[in-house]
Structure 1
């Protein structure tokens, strides 16, 4: 059975199982550990939501089950994470037997909704990797399930918790440049990080929904959170002009290619032990190839993307995502009636130090917190004032600007910690972020502006949470 077929059918295969008389995910009693299960044992599941939780929260969290179609990856996950829990290929069976307090969903994006909904139906709260889902129908199914079951879905938006974005949020709360009227947000993926999406299943729309959904959902969530309003309309443009069919040659994958000496993007997976152990050694079980050719014909997502987003509070956003930039970074500007707030990260000419682009993503994902101290900057500029304010923010050394650890601390260590800037993201946040990407994709396909109200029964509000 192919992985895609499994992920599509397993959650519903035992839908006829009678509902439990009481929720599986009962409240954790004082002194006991939170019982957690994980479905989807790819790199995000076993690393970020697996080993990190084991390493940092084993005193309060216990993995009681892992689920995947691939038995080889399941065994690797147990060893890599350092757990001894049972493994399953049947999601319902895992939940019914292990009685978890929380289900973590890290499967292929297009199947998130199946496990989110089924977990809720079985009485368990859910933590899902972003994006929450990949189309408007699946989004509505999740919204309905949450209302019907009363269970909670948390979306793992770690960028919100980063030190620089939190500092930007603090500046916006002070309103130093008056009412914000428009925002410019540009994100650049370098030729190493950007290309990696097109090697993986993310390059196929039916699995990841396009990078407008899989990757940009991060950025759209930041915009929703920083602007503090809901999107109402999206107009977008995009095309596939670099990767996929846009190349004179292609191979089966990087390991089995006759053009390695001609391809600037050649990646030798055999030098990456983690990828070899997690993926290559387990290809025989589900056929998933991690080092797929960037030029394969199956790629059908956009590699050039831009969108204009109108918000309910009349803010207009100009957004772009580049997937083959010589450098990795981003820049954002908030235009107010009385001035401008501007910030950026890893733009080479903004800092004089030489940045090795091939190592940048690995450094950004560094979880050790070690390394030299550096500072990010926020510029606050007021109209008719020749001087400007430069706010220096100590850059966190943890993954995603320190957001990874803060997000997990909030979820596992101290769920009731103060949250004045509303960092926590629930179903509505997950919906509003992915709906922008879904609307952008639909706008490109249908060559028209798309209103958010067309997609689900969520009504946009001028102020988030209203």
Structure 2
């Protein structure tokens, strides 16, 4: 099909191999043609290519990929701190870009990406799939319809369980130089949702962050689970041999670059917090109370919107030790004796309750986007800036004004 968009996949970790590789070709093959796979680890790239079901050529650097594969679109799934150089190279080569979130990790990197986007006239899309989940769509619609009057405050609390949360501390994310901390890497999702729901930019952030469970807070430590002498008594022991996908993608390839997928969650050099809270004030005077915890017995989030005419509340379950319905229940509670409306939102098929599929439809098929769910580089920048401000506040103990950071343009 001559009209398919030629794309190159850069980064063949879990997300690149599945979401933007195998799953993308399975559902959007009429729209896209994978013409190149790039990873600094060629063995991992070969394993990923087999999993994806492609015969695209493999490259180990972005420059050769762009020159020989000649893509029109580049999808970036590498570690966060490397995004900027790859994005800019792709833009300069005339490509549009889809990047995994966060878009990048520092203010200087944000500015470089934004300048390159303007200079080249190409587009950067940020993969904020949570915006596209059916429940997020309904919440945004209720806010726009004025269901609770003027929005004044939000309570937003995210819970990562001991499977998901611990995994960030096994991997490259555990170092601020790579991820910007989970205030940037993970909370970029949450801060983007908040920015989108509120419809304004954050003005100031005051935050706390501590390492209470992982890293040096742990009772013992090793190099990795596979060789750990404490495996029989560690609650976080992970046997990678029980996961064929991860073992294939990471174990043998680790001989080439030293990156193991089961590093000890108690490594003493881990330098990011695992317990985080933040208060955010927006330019339109909405205030937010936010938290992120990474070692809970449950996975999911709670969000409540408080307004002059009522409250919208939801508790979304992703994983927990009890059965829950295959739908989310939004509680719309009215002031002044108006009672409560219970709004059921069924889960849609696919990752993130259908958000992954709907996002790909909007970006790659041009599906309608009346709520502005498609996120460009400015949205990507503002979520990262919020996280940078939170991490800085947590380290210094001072409230950070966004304007004092110097701007993103």
In structure 1, the partner of 2:42 is 71
| 2:117 equivalent among 134, 138, 146 | 146
Closer, same or farther in 2 for the Cα pair 1:40/1:422, shift >3 Å?
same
Task: Write out aligned runs for 1:61-210 (5 A).
Answer: 61-210=32-181
Q: Deviations over 1:295-323 (max 9, x none)?
A: 01121100010111111111001100011
Of 402, 406, 409, which residue of structure 2 is paired with 1:452? 402
Matched residue, 1:420: 370
Cross-structure match for 2:244: 273
What is the deviation of 1:139? 0.8
Whether contact under 8 Å (1:108, 1:208) holds in the other structure is: yes
Counterpart contact for 1:201–1:208, Cα < 8 Å? yes
Cα-Cα RMSD? 1.7
After superposing on structure 2, the runs of 4+ consecutive aligned residues of structure 1 that deviate more than 3 Å are: none
Distance 2:119 2:395 in 1: 33
Q: Give the gaps of 5 or more residues in structure 1.
A: 1-29, 357-372, 460-466
Instruction: Give, in angstroms, the shift of residue 174 of structure 1.
Output: 1.3
**SS of residue matched to 1:279:** helix
Residue 383 in 1 paired to residue 335 in 2?
A: yes
Alpha-carbon distance in structure 2 between the residues aligned to 1:348 and 1:338: 33
Hey, what's the Cα distance between the residues in 1 that align with 2:121 and 2:396? 36
Q: What is residue 322 of structure 2 aligned with on the other side? A: 354
Report the Cα distance in structure 2 between the residues aligned to 1:398 and 1:85, rounded to whole angstroms: 25
Q: TM-score scaled by structure 1?
A: 0.85
Query: Deviation string for 1:200-257 (max 9, x for gaps)?
Result: 1111111111111000000111111111111111111101111001122111211101
CA contact (8 A) 1:140 1:456 kept: no
1:216-255 matches, within 5 Å, as 216-255=187-226
Q: Count residues in correspondence.
A: 409
1:31, CA displacement in angstroms?
4.5
Q: Is the 8 A contact 1:180 1:315 kept in 2?
A: yes
Aligned residues of 2:205 and 2:400 also touching (Cα < 8 A): yes
Q: Judge which range, 31-40 or 429-438, deviates more.
A: 31-40
Question: CA 1:314 to 1:37, structure 2 compared with 1: closer, same or farther past 3 Å?
Answer: same
Q: CA deviation at 1:348?
A: 8.8
CA contact (8 A) 1:139 1:456 kept: no
CA, structure 1 residues 348+300, in 2 after alignment: closer, same or farther (shift >3 Å)?
closer
Shift, 1:96, TM fit? 1.3
Contact 2:110–2:408 under 8 Å retained in 1: no
Alignment of 1:46-65 (within 5 A): 46-65=17-36
Superposition pairs for residues 307-346 of structure 1, below 5 Å?
Answer: 307-346=278-317
1:332 touches 1:344 (CA, 8 Å); kept in 2?
yes
- The structural deviation recorded for 1:140 is 1.1
Q: Deviations over 1:411-441 (max 9, x none)?
A: 22x22x2211001000000001111001111
Unaligned runs of 5+ in 2: none
Q: Distance in 2 between matches of 1:122 and 1:60?
A: 21
**Distance change (3 Å), C-alpha of 1:151 and 1:307:** same
Q: Is the 8 A contact 1:134 1:213 kept in 2?
A: yes
CA contact (8 A) 1:348 1:355 kept: no
The equivalences for 1:434-445 within 5 A come to: 434-445=384-395
Indicate yes or no: 2:374 matched with 1:406: no
Measure how far apart 1:457 and its partner are.
2.8
